[in-house]
Amino acid sequence: MPSYPHPIIAREGWPFLAVSIAAALAVGWLAGGAWSVPLWIWTLFVLQFFRDPARPIPGTTKDVLSPADGRIVAIQKTHDPYVDREALKISVFMNVFNVHSNRSPVDGEVKGCWYHAGSFLNAALDKASLENERNAIWLRTPDGQDVTSVQVAGLIARRILCYVKGGDVLTRGQRYGFIRFGSRVDVYLPPESQARVTIGEKVSSSATILAELP
């Protein structure tokens, strides 16, 4: 698993940033500075999209941290299809202006990983959870609580990156993956967990407490 933290810009962004800068410089050299302005604007977009700032880790080990930046689009009791149990699901929708690195919501051992190919519906829609391309990891905390974190591709997202495998041990807020260009992350918790966020609330990866485990 790649080391973390990364210096300001996520490692996934450096190739995109290098190509953008090279293209802007080349167009500026060959056609003049005015023609390169759109490419410099694109470079600024790439820079903000792949930013990866350090974040605080609040609360205690019973506090479930947000695995992603964005806003809350779902808080509901439902069935966790990965661990086959009843669960409290909290979903975070990420737009193109959010930080897109994903971080572990809890301390725990990775007990399973599942990748599913699928559609690329608008990630704000609830049906995206089960129909879009997605990658799930099942974490078991030291207290024996099961937490499932699911990266879901969105309307224009075309690449889910997950760097963990079964047997890896993660700590709260540890970076474990990345999704490119708009998406969502679903967190399935024990049904007795208490949500600490509300629908529509903006959250920050690892800095916002989503819920409290029983």
In the chain, where the domains are located: 11-49, 63-212
pLDDT at site 96: 79
pLDDT at site 156: 60
To which H or E segment does residue 73 belong? strand 70-80
Please give the Cα distance from 117 to 120 (Å, whole number): 10
| Paired strand residues for 65 | 209
Residues 176-197 as b or e (16 or more Cβ within 10 Å = b): bbbbbbbbbbbbbbbeebebeb
Please give the Cα distance from 138 to 31 (Å, whole number): 52
pLDDT at site 128: 60
Cα 137 to chain centroid, rounded: 12
Amino acid at 58: P
Annotated catalytic residue 183: yes
pLDDT in tens, 122-174: 555 666 667 678 899 999 999 999 999 999 987 665 678 899 999 999 999 99
Please count the other Cβ atoms lying within 10 Å of the Cβ belonging to residue 114. Answer: 13
pLDDT in tens, 19-68: 888 988 888 888 878 888 888 888 888 887 788 888 889 999 999 999 99
Q: Annotated catalytic residue: which of 183, 193, 205, 206?
A: 183
- Rounded to 10°, the helix 33-49/14-31 angle is 170
pTM of the entire predicted model? 0.84
Please give the Cα distance from 41 to 24 (Å, whole number): 9
Superfamily classification of domain 63-212: Glucose Permease (Domain IIA) (2.70.70.10)
